[in-house]
Amino acid sequence: MHESAVGPGQVLRARLRAHRVTGPDLPDLPSVVGHLLAVQGQELRPALWGASRRVEAGREPGESAATAALDAGEVLRTHVLRPTWHLVRPDDGRWLLELTAPRVRRQMASTERAWGIGDPGPGMDLVAAEVAAGPRTRTELRDALVAHGLVADDAPGIHVTQVLMHAELERLVISGPSRERQQTYAAFDDRVPAGYGTLGERFDVEAAVVELWRRYLPARAYATVKDLAQWGTLTLAGLRRGLEVLLDADEAVEVPGAGGLEGLTFYASAHPAAGDEPAGAPPSGGPRVDLLQAYDELFCSYRESRDVVLEPGAEPPDRRGAFVHCIAVDGRVAGRWRWPSAGVAAGGLDVQWSREPTAAERSALDLAAADLASYLAT
């Protein structure tokens, strides 16, 4: 099934709605993570903030409630999809790891060779034994690895990191409840239900790829095969086979790009969620300012077509320095902000606009800053 061509503005508006940046209507934080399937989260506090903004108005959690959902295991954090942290729902953790862990391990191999890191097996066994007795902090697990001679006392931290990442990929550990403001690791099977979610009791690679497409497209709107390949660290050939299943079943549609997207072939869910606006619908009202975290899924879900979030002539988000997070005006990056170290001061956030903002945009930023201040205080 084919649809009419779409240009950058149409694609961006559809994505803002699919991601629930505009029109947030999800009931709680676990529902947001489940809708997006996985939320990149190496910066945990900003990641929880970004996900919480997708909850419908009046039900948004404050930071304490968002952290409590993570502690309770309603949302989990682990290395999956790519060699970085992601937030996932418990029932999605097992099949996503089974599907993507092999290629994540291969991506980790070059780093391990460069640092002279050997077989992680003995270290993983020890880590599994430690968390079997209860959640452990990274410091506690490092001390155990050093005490057993599996990591040198003066070894760089990456040696411990790689052992723990392998233990996550092998489904031995996953995030546990925080303790005295420190994150812990817990036994995987204690936090993740048996089985493979919607796949059932048995894992099948081809079925998992189809499920990946089935979950990715409704939450991402228009995307290319290379977009998903980057997001899920999978091969183009395998993804194309899975996509054909959805196309043959009329669950997905093919859409050519237009304007600055000419030459790209997009795919979209044939059955978008109720309430999703048509791709061509223009935004309404005055300027909208969103304080998006640096690794928001609006940026990280795409490869070929990610630049639709940029204003004309703008550079991609720069994640160096303190000002790593993005100010978005009507969905397009127009500046940067830094995470406040101690709440949001009365004068507002520390921001760096990439151009001179209008008075209306400054007012909209003040509203967004007030929202962040309320989130951090509750």
> With helix as H, strand as E and coil as C, how does 288-312 read?
CEEEECCCCHHHHCCCCCHHHHECC
Share of the chain above pLDDT 70, in %: 94
Average pLDDT over residues 78-86: 98
Q: Is the pLDDT of residue 344 over 80?
A: no
Q: Which runs of consecutive H residues, i.e. helices, occur in the chain? A: 8-18, 29-36, 44-52, 63-71, 90-114, 121-132, 138-147, 157-169, 188-191, 205-220, 225-232, 236-248, 297-300, 359-377
Average pLDDT over residues 54-68: 96
pLDDT given for residue 232 in this prediction: 95
| Predicted confidence band of residue 283 (pLDDT cuts 50, 70, 90) | low
Q: How many angstroms separate the Cα of 116 from the Cα of each of 29, 107, 145, 164, 345?
A: 40, 15, 17, 16, 46
The full set of domains in the chain, from first to last, is 8-22+207-269 (1.10.10.10), 289-377 (no CATH)
Q: Is the pLDDT of residue 236 over 90?
A: yes
Q: Any idea which of 44-58, 140-154, 312-326 has the lowest mean pLDDT?
A: 312-326
Q: Any idea which of 46-50, 179-183, 300-304, 317-321 has the lowest mean pLDDT?
A: 317-321
Give the angle subtended at the CA of 267 by the CAs of 262 and 270, to the nearest 5°: 135
Q: How much is the mean pLDDT over the chain?
A: 93
Q: Which residues of 215-229 are buried (b: 16+ CB within 10 A; e: fewer)?
A: bbbbbbbbbbbbbbb
Show the tokens assigned to 275. 């309430």
Q: Is the pLDDT of residue 274 over 80?
A: no
Average pLDDT over residues 209-226: 97
* Contact between residue 277 and residue 271 where contact means Cβ atoms under 8 Å apart: no
